[in-house]
Structures are given as structure tokens and as C-alpha cells.
């Protein structure tokens, strides 16, 4: 993570008063209001105040953007240019995002409340790296020839899909969008980003940078708006070839229906999680594991699809371990997101605040015990802050162990042995990520193999990187983001057969 100077706190506060927000849709190379003229309030979770009013796009705007995307795609102004040329433009795009990282980080922090240390040190640099990674890869991707009879040639080539809609959530607004538009653009598609209504500002601003970099009109568009309107219209559109979705499992399933009821478009889904973090008694460093357990659940106020929300602790070390995690939880007491020393900010909006506080009540009602936190914080600011909260004596059948809370709430569950740990870990509809801690390499491999999850961390809670695939088993999703494997979903295979005479 890139460190930012602590003295920046005052600078950031000063910059807030000087921002002029881009708040319209970016369609066919221009900023425009929604056709209906409708807007929605963009509220900062830092203090509950309105930052700006953003265009609320609907079906008519979606139709316009899809038509522009189709025109640009079919004209070949992007899909048919040499990969090397796309690389050059995308590298310029990455550089421009990098040049504007302070501004973009500030927008991200104001819009969804994540600490500036994260948006400036991790999220925005991550987007720069993602775009550059796919730009650099695209002129190194070779097609295939099948091993057939010498009097024939079978070419297997990858072609872009066409019009790709990226419908993304608010927890890592620009990062999640970048995981989609990076590989989709590099592969030659036209992309329409539909940011979450809670966090549209960075995607809108980045559209301008894409145009400045030389991405042709219609190839990169941004449609802010609500899920049920703009999101659904994209999902049901007969001329959208693919939806790349990140969000809840519930809405992910809707996109499968939309595709089935429209044009059978490709759908990739990165959905929810309820990740187990298994701590065996033979863990090498109990203290380090406790620190990582706290970070694994409280990072980004727990609004992380991979958040290690179920802490499975072997009975022998249970009390000692929970006590240590509770000590580390104090490092995550919420603070002002504009202060670079703050580790945890608010949750994204008042609805999320109510949802998380309700789950805390549900947990107590189910008989779990609060070992730390459990209350709102910083109410005087008008923002939506919650204390890092730990439940002990949780049974895996309880709602707080089965349902995605998406807030700073940890459920700790005891287990006896390896077999029971794996059973509890896998007893969930999700399968996004799992972690385990042990010094026994045989146990580590055996348990890792038995865990039904797209990512397994051993002696860590986060091993993610743009170089490795990311996605879920079971109802955590379909398909993979990140790494070169991401190209698989933004392209389709063509077999061209040639008979030689």
C-alpha cells in the first residue's frame, strides 16, 4: 500500500470545499443529464450531507448508450485496431488515472466513506495497476491451432463479445469497475459501467479520463442510476452481449433471469460471501493470527465480499484467541475518513447502518454473546459509524453465521477437530474465500483441498492480487475476475476450419 503523509488531513479537508462534482451520465463521448431530467441525491456517509445530485438514468438512457456502444463496436474503431494500439491508449488511461489519484481518492472517500489512507493508498493505485496489467497483456495473447490432419487447418481464435455492461457495487466502487472494464476494454469490447447508486462519482470522473486517453466515443460509457431501473434495463437489453456483475447473490440471480427472459446474454457473477477463518490450536503465531482476524473482518467497515466474518477457533485456544482479537478490534474504532490515520470509517448509508444494527440485535436475540462493540459511534457527526463488533458462542446455524451482514461484525464459532472445522466452514450457501492457520503443512493442504471456496489463504486472510483469479464457488458466483483468466469471459472462441487442396 502507498503511504500518504499524515499532514495531508487538513489538505484533504480544504480540497473538499473546492470540488466541483461531475454528476451526469457519459454517453457517446459527452456528459448528459438523464433523458427524463431525473436526479438523485448523492449523500456522504461521513456526515449524512448531500454532496451533489446525480443523473438518474433509466431505460431511455440505456437504449441510447447501448446504441452508441453497438455503433462504435461494429465500426471497429476499437475492436479492429491492433492490440498494440489498444495497449498504448489503455496505458495512457492508466497514467491519467494515476495523475488524478488524489482527486479520485477524495471522491471515493467522500462518496462511500472509506478512509482516505485506503482510497489513496490502495483502491486508486489498484485501478491504475489493473488497467496497466490488461493493457500490457493484450499484445501478448496468442490464438491456437488444433493438432489435426496435415491437409486441414483448424484455427481457434478469441473474439470480443461486443457490448459489455458492468454493473458494480459500492464497497470498492472504482476497483470493482476496473476489474471489469480493464480486461473487457483490452479485449476489444465496448463497455457501459453502471455504478451503484451509493457511489457513482469516481466512475463518472474516470469516463472523462478515458476519453482524454483516446478511447473512442461509445466504447467507454457510464450510466449512473438505480438498480431496478438502469441496472434492470441493461440486464434485459436485447443488444447487450454480456453483463459482468458484482453485487449481492440476490441481485446476481435476477441477472440470470433477465438473460433468460431476453437474449441469453453472457452473465458473470461475483456475489456474496460468508468466509470462514479457521484457527487451529497449532497456529504458529497466535498474536499475528488475531491481528489478521481483526483486519480480515473490520477492513472497509466489514463491507467486503471476502470478509472473514466467521471465525472458527479450535476449543483449546478459544478464550485466549477471542480476547486477543477483541484487543485488536480497538485499532478499528471508527474515525474521520479524511484523517490519514483512520483505519475504519462509516458504513455506506443509513440503510446499511440500520441493516447492520438490526443484525447485531438478531445475534443477541439468538443467544450469541457480545465480546466487543455492538453500538453506533460518532453519532454527533451525522454519519453512519458502527463499533467493531465481536460475537462469541455463535452456532453456525444462527442467522449471524449464515447471512451476509456486510458490516463490522464478527461471529466466532468453536470447533473440536479438523473434520468439524471443514464441515462448519462448508456449511453455507457461499464459497468465495476461506482462510486457515496452522503450522502443520499436511493439515494445511488437506483442509485447503476440502474447503469449497474460490480462494483459500493459508496463514493469511488476504492473498489477493491482480495476477491471480478471483471468484466464487456455489452461490458466490459464476466466472472469475482478475488475472489473464478474466479474458476468457470477455471473449468468445471461434473455430475456423480450412480444407487444403
| Catalytic residue annotation | 270
Are the C-beta atoms of residues 289 and 437 closer than 8 Å to each other? yes
C-alpha to C-alpha distance for 73 and 218, rounded to whole angstroms: 8
User: For residues 137 and 166, which CB has a smaller minimum distance to ligand NAD in the complex?
Assistant: 166
Please report how close the Cβ of residue 472 comes to ligand NAD at its closest, in angstroms.
6
Q: Which three cell numbers stand for residue 317?
A: 485456544
Binding site for ligand NAD (CB under 6 A): 167-171, 176, 194, 196-197, 226-228, 231-232, 235, 246-248, 251, 254, 270-273, 305, 404, 406, 432, 472, 476-477
User: For residues 255 and 437, which CB has a smaller minimum distance to ligand NAD in the complex?
Assistant: 255
Buried b / exposed e over 294-317, threshold 16 CB at 10 Å, is bbbbbbbbbbbbbbbbbbbbbeeb
Q: Which three cell numbers stand for residue 238?
A: 436485447
Report helix angle 201-213 to 83-99, nearest 10: 130
Please report how close the Cβ of residue 255 comes to ligand NAD at its closest, in angstroms.
7
Compute CA distances 25 → 167, 179, 296, whole Å.
15, 21, 35
Break the chain down into helix, strand, coil percent, rounded to 5.
Answer: 40, 20, 35
Please report how close the Cβ of residue 92 comes to ligand NAD at its closest, in angstroms.
27
Please report how close the Cβ of residue 10 comes to ligand NAD at its closest, in angstroms.
32
Are the C-beta atoms of residues 304 and 274 closer than 8 Å to each other? no
Question: What backbone torsions phi and psi does residue 451 show, to the nearest 5 degrees?
Answer: -80, 130
User: For residues 182 and 216, which CB has a smaller minimum distance to ligand NAD in the complex?
Assistant: 182
User: For residues 172 and 391, which CB has a smaller minimum distance to ligand NAD in the complex?
Assistant: 172
User: For residues 253 and 494, which CB has a smaller minimum distance to ligand NAD in the complex?
Assistant: 253
DSSP string computed for 65-93: HHHHHHHHHHHTTTTTS-HHHHHHHHHHH
Please report how close the Cβ of residue 150 comes to ligand NAD at its closest, in angstroms.
46
Nearest Cα neighbor of 140 from 212, 189, 83 is 83
C-alpha to C-alpha distance for 41 and 49, rounded to whole angstroms: 9
Amino acid at each position: 500500500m502507498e503511504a500518504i503523509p499524515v499532514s495531508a488531513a487538513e489538505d484533504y479537508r480544504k480540497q473538499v470545499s473546492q470540488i466541483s462534482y461531475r454528476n451526469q451520465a457519459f454517453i457517446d463521448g459527452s456528459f448528459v443529464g438523464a433523458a427524463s431530467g431525473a436526479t438523485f441525491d448523492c449523500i456522504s456517509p461521513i456526515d449524512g450531507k448531500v454532496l451533489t445530485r446525480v443523473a438518474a438514468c433509466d431505460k431511455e438512457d440505456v437504449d441510447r448508450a447501448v446504441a452508441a456502444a453497438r455503433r462504435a463496436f461494429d465500426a471497429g474503431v476499437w475492436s479492429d485496431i491492433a492490440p498494440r494500439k489498444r495497449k498504448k491508449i489503455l496505458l495512457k488511461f492508466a497514467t491519467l488515472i494515476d495523475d488524478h489519484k488524489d482527486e479520485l481518492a477524495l471522491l471515493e472517500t467522500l462518496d462511500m466513506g472509506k478512509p482516505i489512507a485506503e482510497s489513496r493508498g490502495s483502491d486508486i493505485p489498484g485501478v491504475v495497476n489493473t488497467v496497466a496489467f490488461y493493457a500490457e497483456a493484450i499484445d501478448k495473447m496468442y490464438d491456437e491451432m488444433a493438432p489435426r490432419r496435415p491437409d486441414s487447418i483448424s484455427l481457434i481464435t478469441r473474439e470480443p463479445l461486443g457490448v459489455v455492461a458492468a454493473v458494480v457495487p459500492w464497497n470498492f466502487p472504482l476497483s470493482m469497475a476496473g476489474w471489469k472494464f480493464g480486461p473487457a476494454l483490452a479485449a476489444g469490447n465496448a463497455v457501459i459501467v453502471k455504478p451503484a447508486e451509493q457511489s457513482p462519482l469516481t466512475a463518472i470522473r474516470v469516463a472523462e479520463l478515458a476519453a482524454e486517453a483516446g478511447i473512442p466515443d461509445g466504447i467507454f460509457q457510464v450510466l449512473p442510476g438505480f438498480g431496478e431501473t438502469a441496472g434492470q434495463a441493461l440486464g434485459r437489453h436485447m443488444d447487450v452481449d454480456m453483463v459482468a456483475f458484482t453485487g449481492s447473490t440476490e441481485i446476481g440471480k435476477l441477472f440470470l433471469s433477465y438473460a433468460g427472459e431476453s437474449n441469453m446474454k453472457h452473465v458473470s457473477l461475483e456475489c456474496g460471501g460468508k468466509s470462514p477463518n479457521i484457527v487451529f490450536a497449532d497456529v504458529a503465531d497466535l498474536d499475528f493470527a488475531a491481528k489478521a482476524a481483526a483486519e480480515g473482518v473490520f477492513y472497509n467497515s466489514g463491507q467486503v465480499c471476502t470478509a472473514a466474518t466467521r471465525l472458527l477457533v479450535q476449543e483449546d485456544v478459544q478464550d485466549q484467541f477471542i480476547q486477543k482479537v477483541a484487543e485488536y478490534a480497538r485499532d478499528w474504532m471508527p474515525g474521520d475518513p479524511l484523517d490519514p490515520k483512520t483505519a475504519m470509517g462509516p458504513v455506506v448509508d443509513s440503510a446499511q447502518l440500520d441493516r447492520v444494527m438490526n443484525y447485531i440485535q438478531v445475534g443477541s436475540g439468538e443467544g450469541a454473546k457480545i465480546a466487543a462493540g455492538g453500538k453506533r459511534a460518532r453519532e454527533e457527526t451525522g454519519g453512519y459509524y458502527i463499533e467493531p463488533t465481536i460475537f462469541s458462542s455463535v452456532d453456525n446455524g444462527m442467522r449471524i453465521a449464515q447471512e451476509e451482514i456486510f458490516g463490522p461484525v464478527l461471529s466466532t464459532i468453536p470447533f473440536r477437530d479438523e473434520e468439524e472445522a471443514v464441515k462448519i466452514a462448508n456449511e453455507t450457501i457461499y464459497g468465495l474465500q476461506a482462510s486457515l492457520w496452522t503450522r502443520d503443512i499436511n493439515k494445511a493442504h488437506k483442509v485447503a483441498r476440502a474447503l469449497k471456496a474460490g480462494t483459500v489463504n493459508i496463514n493469511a486472510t488476504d492473498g489477493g492480487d491482480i495476477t491471480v483469479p478471483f471468484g466464487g464457488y456455489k452461490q458466490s458466483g459464476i466466472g472469475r475476475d482478475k488475472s489473464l483468466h478474466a479474458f476468457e469471459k470477455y471473449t468468445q472462441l471461434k473455430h475456423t476450419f480450412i480444407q487444403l487442396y
